[in-house]
């Protein structure tokens, strides 16, 4: 599943290391803003927010903002605050997701709602979301505010759309792509784009970065959905089969259902409405996903979007930033599953 590695003439497996090095010193600035602005006189707020924010996570979205700034040669500092705003929006949606999904684990730790309860988790999410807008207002770009308020509305719509599709085996691939385009890719796109706004680049540059982030986001989510059926608590930070047990109709399931026999389809129908959620059922599901090629083809779709992300960088001069951003995509689509 690392077909694209040789393509780039690299010897080792692709990694996030180059993009992390590229932005390491800038990320320290972003982290200070994050730590500074998650504070509040109400102690529960930094405590709960810190559980998630300090507790790991790759800071993928702020990383995109910072990498994009390097790519276009932006030498200012405005994007530090905006990258922190992006991370706050993301953290707010994760907190609300944990309440929505009734999650047990997040990033390998107990999910915030389990420790602090649903009420506090909802409200601290609201706080971080408001704080994100305060940061954007301080920066003062109405264009950035427009991009991120729109992305936020789209994310919420995508989450509701996903909720409505839950336990519906007849969800189409198109609808599924709409959902992940909204709930995941919209913020990747906005995070990549906003550096071009503060650097006052041409529209063409903005759109290329938007496309990079959006396609990377879709690829990223598709791989996550494939991994959900194969990985374990240690490597993924959550349990395998969570999507299955929650009746989430992700692309692997859509493909396996479309390609299955009558008997297989009956199994999927029962499983997705929640009548089959034992470990044995999960085993059968995983078997069907592999035998129908549903997992392989989900990965193949992911590579398609990954390649589009890489090609969107074509207008930029080659160099360390572009290489690192390219390898980040390669990494996303070559993760173990």
- Measured at the CA of 26, the angle between CA 67 and CA 204, to 5 degrees, comes to 30
User: Could you say which of 35, 122, 169, 207 contacts a second copy (CB under 8 A)?
Assistant: 122
Q: Measured over all CA atoms, what is the biggest interatomic distance in the chain, rounded to whole angstroms?
A: 60
Contact window for a second copy (CB under 8 A) among 63-71, 120-128, 206-214, 268-276: 120-128
161 binds a second copy (CB under 8 A): yes
Residue 108 or 117 with smaller CB distance to a second copy: 117
Number of chain residues interacting with a second copy (CB under 8 A): 43
The whole-angstrom separation of Cα 265 and Cα 68 is 44
Q: Shortest gap between Cβ of 123 and a second copy (angstroms)?
A: 5
152 binds a second copy (CB under 8 A): yes
35 binds a second copy (CB under 8 A): no
Phi, psi (deg, nearest 5) at residue 286? -60, -40
Angle formed by the axes of helices 60-71 and 320-334, nearest 10°: 150
135 neighbors 37 (Cβ within 8 angstroms): yes
Cross-strand bridge partners of residue 110: 105
176 neighbors 251 (Cβ within 8 angstroms): yes
Residue 134 or 202 with smaller CB distance to a second copy: 134
Map the footprint of a second copy across residues 127-146, applying CB under 8 A.
Answer: 127, 129-131, 133-134, 136-137, 140, 142, 145-146
Q: Shortest gap between Cβ of 199 and a second copy (angstroms)?
A: 20
157 binds a second copy (CB under 8 A): yes
Phi, psi (deg, nearest 5) at residue 219? -60, -45
User: Could you say which of 38, 66, 86, 155 contacts a second copy (CB under 8 A)?
Assistant: 155
Residue 7 or 143 with smaller CB distance to a second copy: 143
Q: Which of 175, 172, 180, 192 is nearest to 219 (CA)?
A: 180
- Measured at the CA of 330, the angle between CA 327 and CA 331, to 5 degrees, comes to 90
Interacting residues with a second copy (CB under 8 A): 40-45, 92-93, 96, 99-101, 118-120, 122-124, 126-127, 129-131, 133-134, 136-137, 140, 142, 145-146, 149-150, 152-153, 155-157, 159-161, 163-164
């Amino acid at each position: 599943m690392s077909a694209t590695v040789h393509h780039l003439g690299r010897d080792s497996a692709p990694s996030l290391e180059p993009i992390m090095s590229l932005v390491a010193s800038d990320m320290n600035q972003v982290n200070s803003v994050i730590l500074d602005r998650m504070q509040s006189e109400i102690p529960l707020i930094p405590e709960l927010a810190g559980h998630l924010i300090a507790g790991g996570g790759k800071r993928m979205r702020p990383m995109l903002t910072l990498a994009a700034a390097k790519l276009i040669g932006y030498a200012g500092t405005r994007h530090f605050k905006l990258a922190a705003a992006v991370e706050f929006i993301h953290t707010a949606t994760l907190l609300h997701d944990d309440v929505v999904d009734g999650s047990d684990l997040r990033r390998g730790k107990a999910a915030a709602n389990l420790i602090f309860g649903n009420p506090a988790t909802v409200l601290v999410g609201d706080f971080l979301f408001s704080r994100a807008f305060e940061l954007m207002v301080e920066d003062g770009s109405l264009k950035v505010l427009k991009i991120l308020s729109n992305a936020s509305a789209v994310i919420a719509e995508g989450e509701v759309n996903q909720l409505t599709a839950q336990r519906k085996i007849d969800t189409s691939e198109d609808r599924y792509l709409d959902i992940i385009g909204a709930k995941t890719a919209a913020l990747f796109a906005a995070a990549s784009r906003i550096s071009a706004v503060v650097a006052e680049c041409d529209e063409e540059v903005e759109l290329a970065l938007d496309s990079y982030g959006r396609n990377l986001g879709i690829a990223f989510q598709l791989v996550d959905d494939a991994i959900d059926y194969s990985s374990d608590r240690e490597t993924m930070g959550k349990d395998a089969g969570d999507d299955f047990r929650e009746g989430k109709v992700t692309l692997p399931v859509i493909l396996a259902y479309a390609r299955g026999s009558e008997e297989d389809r009956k199994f999927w129908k029962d499983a997705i409405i929640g009548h089959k959620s034992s470990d044995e059922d999960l085993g059968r599901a995983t078997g069907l996903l592999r035998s129908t090629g549903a997992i392989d083809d989900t990965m193949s779709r992911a590579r398609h979007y990954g390649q589009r992300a890489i090609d969107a960088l074509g207008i930029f001069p080659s160099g360390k930033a572009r290489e690192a951003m390219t390898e980040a995509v390669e990494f996303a689509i070559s993760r173990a599953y």
